[in-house]
């Protein structure tokens, strides 16, 4: 009997590991196993569920990734005392964001020029003060009205093709998403009162609250790009967990 299915009569299409994870999750949510409790080890659970240990391992790792379990060698597996929950959101292509909202997308380049990085940026990116970067300001529009505007620095040293791209054809946002896989990204967002410049480019009153995203991406050759993205008032970012 080398096959899992031979001893499971109807066999629903739900993978076994997910079923085990769901059952363990239920026991936690319904307090059958309480915060801090140690739960049976993988071998015991494998017996209970009639599964191989590898399958139980997969299920428990899922729950550990969710933050519901703490797993440590020798110490066993415990229900996390204060589950650290994570939420994930997608980094979209702005054009698709606009189009999914049912609006016609357009973007226009406000300015583009070669320039050395400002001091603060040079420090943050770990670049020399005299590095040659592309400074690009772009407005993304939906139905002809400003939707987001980005103030972006691009580093051709990390991504040589950047020097040859025409950003009027395809926005830097989209070009990068499609062509420049990154290894690491830092993201931060905060609220800000629109500056005079923000207000002008987004066509809103100064002082309006806007959501601002700062994102920097890196590959093995160094920082690719760092961008400040100012969103139109009313923009809502959603996530799930």
**Would you tell me which residues interact with DNA (CB under 7 A)?**
1-5, 11, 13, 15-19, 41-43, 50-55, 57-58, 60-61, 64, 71-77
Applying CB under 8 A, among 193, 197, 203, 206 the residue interacting with its own copies is: 193
List of residues 6+ apart from 210 with CB closer than 8 A = 191, 192, 193, 194, 198, 202, 204, 230, 231, 232, 233, 235
Work out how close the CB of 100 gets to DNA at its nearest, in angstroms, rounded to a whole number: 23
Q: How far, in Å, CA of 49 to CA of 95, rounded?
A: 48
165 binds, among DNA, its own copies, none (CB under 5 to 8 A by kind): none
Which residues in the 14-33 window bind its own copies by CB under 8 A?
25-26, 28-29
CA dihedral 200, 202, 207, 208 (to 10 degrees): 160
Q: Which is nearer to its own copies, 3 or 130 (CB)?
A: 3
Among the candidate windows 8-16, 37-45, 80-88, 143-151, which touches its own copies by CB under 8 A? 80-88
CB of 64 to its own copies, least distance (A): 14
**Among its own copies, DNA, none, residue 11 binds (CB under 5-8 Å by kind):** DNA
Query: Cβ of residue 112: shortest distance to its own copies, in angstroms?
Result: 23
Three-class DSSP labels, 41-58: CHHHHHHHHCCCHHHHHH
Element (H, E) at 209: strand 209-219
Handedness of CA 10, 13, 16, 19 (dihedral sign): negative
Q: How far apart are CA 40 and CA 44, in angstroms?
A: 6
According to the 3-state scheme, what is the secondary structure of 151-187? EEEECCCCCHHHHHCCCCCCCHHHHHHHHCCCCEEEE
- End-to-end alpha-carbon separation of the chain, Å? 39
Of 128 and 181, nearer to its own copies (C-beta) is: 181
Torsion of CA 87, 92, 96, 99, to 10 degrees: 50
Q: Is residue 197 part of the contact set for its own copies (CB under 8 A)?
A: no
65 contact, one of DNA, its own copies, none, CB 5-8 Å limit per kind: none
Report 93-152 residues binding its own copies (CB under 8 A): 93
Name which position in 186, 197, 200, 203 contacts its own copies (CB under 8 A): 186
Nearer to its own copies, 115 or 209 (CB): 209
Q: Can you give the binding site for its own copies, defined by CB under 8 A?
A: 25-26, 28-29, 35, 68, 81-91, 93, 177-179, 181-193, 207-212, 219-220, 231, 233-241
């Amino acid at each position: 009997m080398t096959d899992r299915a031979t001893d499971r009569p109807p066999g629903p299409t739900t993978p076994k590991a997910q079923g085990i994870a769901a059952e363990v999750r239920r026991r936690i949510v319904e307090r059958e196993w309480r915060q801090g409790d140690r739960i049976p080890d993988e071998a015991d659970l494998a017996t209970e569920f009639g599964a191989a240990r590898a399958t139980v391992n997969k299920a428990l790792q899922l729950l550990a990734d969710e933050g519901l379990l703490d797993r440590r060698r020798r110490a066993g597996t415990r229900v996390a005392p204060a589950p650290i929950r994570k939420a994930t959101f997608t980094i979209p292509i702005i054009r698709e964001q606009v189009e999914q909202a049912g609006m016609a997308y357009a973007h226009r380049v406000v300015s583009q020029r070669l320039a050395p990085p400002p001091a603060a940026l040079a420090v943050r990116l770990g670049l020399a003060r005299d590095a040659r970067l592309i400074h690009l300001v772009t407005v993304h529009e939906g139905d002809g009205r400003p939707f987001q505007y980005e103030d972006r620095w691009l580093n051709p040293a990390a991504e040589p093709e950047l020097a040859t791209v025409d950003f009027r054809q395809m926005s830097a946002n989209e070009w990068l998403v499609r062509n420049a896989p990154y290894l690491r990204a830092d993201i931060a967002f905060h609220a800000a009162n629109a500056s005079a410049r923000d207000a002008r480019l987004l066509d809103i009153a100064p002082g309006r609250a806007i959501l601002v995203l700062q994102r920097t991406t890196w590959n093995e050759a160094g920082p690719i790009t760092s961008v400040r993205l100012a969103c139109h008032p009313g923009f809502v970012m959603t996530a799930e967990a």
